[in-house]
């Protein structure tokens, strides 16, 4: 699906992480990629993250999936919402919804969450810490936008839901199928289904927090530091008061820490690995039978399209050190040079690619492709 009447440069300059934007009739040929019954079926699967949120006389209630078919079949005709996370990992047609948003770097993409709501169903007024495009897929939904929120914003007491204690809408619209509402981080919003079978596709974008970056990177750095790297002061002189920690000592101590964290190449390799780690690492996408290099050569020569697993995270960093292009695939780093570097760029640039037949003659390229295929990151499309 492609956007129509959408100026990417204007959006990034005026709206991205700044203010909400309603985009009416955003797609040239919108069609809902998933039926309500199909989404309900996914919510019953053990390995798929799902939630059911109901608004009752007693307040808001949440049930964590997997959900039983009988439970879903017995739901009332109003005031409930079913949420299924990372549907793009399991339904190619939903994964295709991400393609129009590729003007945002792939490493920022999280997943596509899909909600199905009965009349008046919603999840309550809230705010998120990430950018989200809310695509109306089926039915109609009233969206209300409110003030900017932060960590000090008062929330209702609830074990599972972070709902705003007070919400005053400043704007509101009813979205029809094919409409999109962009909501930046921190902006309060509330969505309520208008009628039954209301489906919304939430294309979410992640941003690592400072605490996550520091915590995980420091843990990684610590693994490589020898125990005998101790503070040293061979130029020590007598000081007037032995109880004082002098500025010179503090500066040396701080420098010890900063030196361990200041190598750009080390940080690049760590971040690419960290950021490409799968959201659901327990999911096994490897082929039932390992793929042999001969099979890959045959597929390339036959010009069979090569597709990326929607659940895989692929990205690269070029020129961080020694002209090596680092390809990151689901938490694994591959050092690429020359022809494999060009191949890595192609794999990251598109969801599907037809490789040049010359690739079949490169041992290094075939070795890289074999590892990626057997890791479950990529696969040649079935000829049938």
- Could you state, in chain order, the average pLDDT of each consecutive group of 10 residues for the chain (384 residues)? 88 97 94 97 97 94 96 96 97 95 95 98 96 98 97 94 96 97 98 97 95 95 89 94 96 94 93 95 93 96 96 92 90 95 95 95 97 97 68
Short-list 315, 316, 299, 301, CA closest to 373:
299
What pLDDT does 267 receive?
Answer: 95
Q: Strand 180-183 to strand 131-148: parallel, antiparallel, or no bridges (unpaired)? A: antiparallel
For 299-348, give the DSSP string: HHHTT--EEE-TT--EEEEEEEETTEEEEEETTEEEEE-HHHHHHHHHHH
With tokens 């090569």, the residue in question is: 306
Residue 275, preceding bond cis, omega within 30 degrees? no
Q: Hey, what domains does the chain have and what are their CATH numbers? A: 8-205 (2.60.120.650), 209-232+246-262 (no CATH), 293-380 (3.40.366.30)
pLDDT of residue 383: 58
∠ Cα 22 28 30 (to 5°): 80
Q: Is 347 left (phi over 0), alpha (psi -120 to 50) or beta?
A: alpha
pLDDT at 318: 93
Task: Give the pairing of strands 187-205 and 324-329.
Answer: unpaired
* pLDDT confidence of residue 228: 85
Nearest to 163 by CA among 181, 143, 189, 185: 189
pLDDT value at residue 245: 97
Residue 259 to residues 92, 97, 228, 253: CA-CA distances in angstroms? 45, 43, 16, 10
pLDDT score, position 5: 82
Q: Is the dihedral of CA 340, 342, 343, 347 positive or negative?
A: positive
Residue whose C-alpha is closest to residue 315's, from 276, 351, 277, 280: 276
């Amino acid at each position: 699906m492609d956007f129509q009447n959408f100026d990417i440069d204007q959006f990034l300059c005026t709206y991205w992480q700044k203010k909400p934007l309603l985009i009416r009739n955003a797609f040239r040929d919108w069609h809902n990629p998933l039926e309500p019954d199909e989404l309900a079926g996914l919510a019953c699967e053990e390995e798929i993250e799902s939630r059911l949120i109901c608004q009752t006389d007693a307040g808001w209630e949440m049930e964590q999936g997997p959900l039983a078919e009988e439970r879903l079949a017995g739901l009332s005709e109003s005031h409930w919402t079913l949420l299924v996370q990372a549907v793009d990992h399991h339904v190619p047609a939903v994964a295709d919804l991400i393609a129009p948003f590729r003007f945002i770097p792939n490493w920022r993409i999280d997943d596509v969450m899909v909600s199905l709501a009965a009349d008046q169903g919603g999840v309550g007024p809230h705010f998120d810490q990430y950018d989200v495009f809310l695509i109306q897929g089926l039915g109609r939904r009233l969206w209300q936008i409110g003030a900017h929120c932060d960590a000090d914003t008062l929330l209702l007491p609830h074990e599972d839901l972070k709902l705003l204690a007070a919400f005053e809408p400043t704007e509101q619209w009813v979205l029809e199928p094919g409409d999109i509402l962009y909501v930046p981080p921190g902006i309060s919003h509330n969505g309520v289904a208008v009628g039954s079978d209301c489906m919304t596709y939430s294309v979410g974008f992640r941003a690592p927090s400072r605490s996550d970056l520091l915590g995980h990177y420091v843990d990684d750095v610590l693994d490589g530091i020898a125990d005998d790297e101790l503070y040293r002061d061979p130029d020590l002189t007598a000081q007037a008061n032995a109880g004082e920690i002098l500025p010179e000592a503090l500066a040396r101590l701080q420098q010890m820490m900063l030196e361990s964290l200041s190598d750009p190449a080390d940080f690049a390799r760590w971040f690419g690995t960290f950021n490409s780690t799968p959201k659901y690492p327990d999911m096994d996408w490897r082929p039932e039978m390992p793929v042999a290099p001969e099979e890959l050569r045959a597929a390339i020569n036959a010009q069979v399209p090569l597709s990326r697993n929607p659940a895989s995270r692929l990205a690269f960093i070029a020129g961080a050190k020694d002209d090596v292009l680092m390809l990151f695939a689901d938490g694994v780093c591959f050092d690429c040079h020359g022809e494999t570097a060009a191949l890595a760029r192609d794999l990251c640039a598109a969801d599907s690619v037809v490789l040049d037949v010359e690739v079949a003659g490169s041992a290094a390229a075939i070795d890289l492709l074999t590892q990626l295929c057997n890791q479950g990151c990529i696969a040649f499309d079935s000829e049938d």
